[in-house]
Every structure is written in structure tokens, then in C-alpha cells.
Amino acid sequence: MAVADQSAGSRFGKTTLSVIMAVSLCHLINDIMQSLLSSLYPLFKTNYDLDFVQIGLLTLAFQVTASLLQPMVGLVTDRWPMPYSLPVGMASTFFGLIVLGNAHSFGFLVLGACMIGFGSSVFHPESSRIARLASGGRHGLAQSLFQVGGNAGQAIGPLLAAFIVLPYGQKSVAWIAVIALAGMMILTWVGRWFMEHRRQQATKPPASRALPLERNRVLWALIILVVLTATKNVYMSSMASYFTFYTIEKFGMSIENSQLMLFLFLGAAAVGTFMGGPIGDRFGARFVIWFSILGVIPFALLLPYANLFWTCVLVVVIGLIFASAFSAIVVFAQELVPGRVGMIAGIFFGLAFGAGGLGAAMLGVFADSKGIEWVFRMSSYLPLLGLLTILLPKLPEHR
């Protein structure tokens, strides 16, 4: 019997790693699809004669669709888990890209962006839950592996835009959507693992939902984490939406080279995201939040005044440092509110999209009226709100 139990535990450990890597890979696929939207803004701007307000509205349509639905999806799946909702979300992203590739007006661009947003709203809460279930207690590592797939996908998207879509035209977006079919098959397998895991855990008592701190302190900490997440994602969204235009205007770069500059930033962000998880498991999520949110301030302030060489250096440093915070914020929030994994993931992933979308829309208005360089100077002050990190409480050691 002991041998059987040991064998079962060994198999479970191996399956756990494969599941984490599977949801990370699908996060990569999901975010490749999503990042194509912002990467193609210069093409859409030319093809449809868009202004910066319309560019911001496209980002708003995508990110607010995701942000409004994600917390609701998380609440529902906390109570009634839906293992096969994941391939459904990926299918929505697939059809959204088909619409983008064949759009004939700005309205269809908005429709495609909304479909991609719906796919995100379904994918993120449930896949984040599965990553935590498969973590074996190393929640920071699991969340960072899950999140780094998304960051890597965001970095790869501009490359696909530069080397496939821009040379072959807007209709080639539909070719890239075929990758989502592979994601749907992988997520169907993940759904089967989730069902089996639930059967294995059915006889065990449910995890405690007791709060680690007084309710008011938990609420205050969550508000601070919300502000930090909003600040971080407005800044990151401004980079994703307008950095290509900034490098074209300030340094006279071609569209292709501006996409490579965006890849430099997003690639560094992917590496930073991975680094944040293991460091958080070793030193605590609060330490990572401190380091990331406060450490980026001097580099963000310098960026609008740098020449081309130092712009390349600074965007790498900013991406490495700033991106490491998000998985730590999610883990910290999940520890503050035990037993609400889907809801917390939905709120924070949804807030990431929503805050970024609103910020991008507002910055688009300023970009039209005051210029893109003014927008980058103004947004460089956003990380100063990270000083609120000092107000985060310490969680009890036994947790």
C-alpha cells in the first residue's frame, strides 16, 4: 500500500509540473493573440485613418471587456468550477483574430477586440487557479511560471507583427489565429486533469477560509494592492500602446524597428516576471513588491530624457524590475483572502486589463492634444504611487 501511495505521489508530482507548463504555454498562446492587437496599431492607424483617441478606444474595448467579466468568472468558478471553460475562452480569442484579419471598418476592429477580451476573461481566473492547485505549495513559482508564459506571448506578438503581418498585410492575422487551435486541444487536456484532481480531493476537508488578519486590515491591504496594480498596468499599457509611436516620432525609426524596440521591453518584462516568483517563495511576496514597485522609480523618471542607446537600456531595466511585481501581488492577495483563488485572480487580472485600458484611452486624448513625448514625460511619474507599498501589512509567519 505504501509503495502504491508513493507511486501515486510520484505520478502526481510529475503531472503537476506538466500542468503548470501546459497552462503557461497556453498563456503564451493566449497573449500572443492579444498582443497582436496593440502591435498592429500602426497598421490599423494607416489602413483606417485612425486618430490616437480611436487607438485608445480599441485598447479600452479589449481591456474593459476582460476586466468587467474576469471577477464575475472568478466568483462563479470558485463556487462551481468549470474545467472545460478554458478551451471555450481560447475559441473566443481565435474568432476574434479572424474578425480582426478580415475587418472592413473600425466597428469590426472593436468587435474583434471585444471577442479577444472575452477570451481573456474566461482564461485567466480558471488557469490561475489550476496553476495554484498544481503548485505543491510553491505558489510564487507556479504563478510566475504561469505569468511568464503571458509575458513571453506579449513579447512574441510584436515580432509576428513585424515579420509576418506587416509584410503580408492585415489578412495574415487570420493565419496566426490557427495557433489558438493547438491551445484549445491543450486546455481540453488540462480540463481533464482538473476533473481528476477534484475527484482525488473530494474526500479531504475543504481548506480554511479564515482571514489571516482583521477584516479591516485585509480590506485596506487589498485596496493598496489594487492601487499598485492599477499604477503598474497603466504604465505598462502606455508602453505597449504608444512606445512604437514614441520611438518613431522621437528617433525617426521605421515601423519594423519600433516593433523590435517594443519586443525589447516586453521580453525583459517576461524575464522579470519569472524572476519574481522564486524570489517571492524565498523572501516573501511583500519583499518582491517592495523591490519591484519602488526600484523602478528612478529608471522610469529618466526614460523620457534618454537618447536612443539609453532608451534601449532603460526599457530593459524597467521591464525586468516592474514586471516582477504582478505574480507577487496575486499571491499576496490570495494569502489575504484564502479560498477565493478564482475571485482574486479575476479581480487582479481584470483590474490589470481595465486600468490599462482606461489609462490608454486617457493617454490617447493627451497624445492627440499635447503630443506623444508629453505623454511619456507625464506617465514617468506614475510609479511614484508605489510609495504606498510601505503601508502593506506583514502576514503571520505560520501562513
Per-residue model confidence (pLDDT) at position 209:
62
Which pLDDT score, from 0 to 100, does residue 185 have?
Answer: 92
Most confident of the following: 117-131, 208-222, 269-283: 117-131
The pLDDT of residue 399 is 47
Alpha carbons 153 and 210: distance in angstroms, whole number: 36
- pLDDT value of position 352: 61
pLDDT confidence of residue 353: 60
Q: Could you tell me the residue ranges of all domains in the chain? A: 13-200+211-391
Least confident segment among 18-22, 151-155, 303-307, 390-394: 151-155
Q: Is the pLDDT of residue 302 over 90?
A: yes
pLDDT above 90 (res 186): yes
CA 259 vs CA 161, 264, 267, 301, 370: distances in Å = 8, 9, 12, 23, 23
The domain 13-200+211-391 is placed in CATH, from the list 3.40.50.980, 3.10.560.10, 3.20.20.150, 1.20.1250.20, at: 1.20.1250.20
Q: Please tell me the predicted confidence (pLDDT) of residue 337.
A: 81
| 3 pLDDT more than 60 | no
CB atoms within 10 A of CB 341: 25
Helices 255-283 and 41-48: crossing angle, nearest 10°?
140
Give the integer Cα–Cα distance in Å for 110 and 99. Answer: 10
- Between 165 and 307, the more confident residue is 307
Segment 367-391, tens digit of pLDDT: 888 888 888 888 888 888 888 888 8
Predicted pLDDT at 216:
87
Look at 4-13, 36-45, 53-62, 352-361 and tell me which has the smallest mean pLDDT: 4-13
Among 203-217, 221-235, 308-322, the least confident range? 203-217
Averaged confidence pLDDT in the chain: 80
Closest CA to 396 of 129, 208, 214: 214
Mean local confidence (pLDDT), 328-335: 82
Mean pLDDT of the 348-369 span = 73
User: Could you tell me which residue, 354 or 231, shows the higher pLDDT?
Assistant: 231
Question: What percent of the chain has pLDDT above 90?
Answer: 11
| Spatial CA neighbour of 379 closest among 307, 321, 318, 325 | 318
| Average pLDDT over every residue of 69-76 | 79
Count CB-CB contacts under 10 A for residue 374. 14
Question: Per 3-state DSSP, what percentage of the chain is helix, strand, and coil (rounded to 5)?
Answer: 85, 0, 15
Q: Residue 12's pLDDT band (boundaries 50, 70, 90)?
A: very low
pLDDT at 79: 76
CA distance 194 to 214: 33
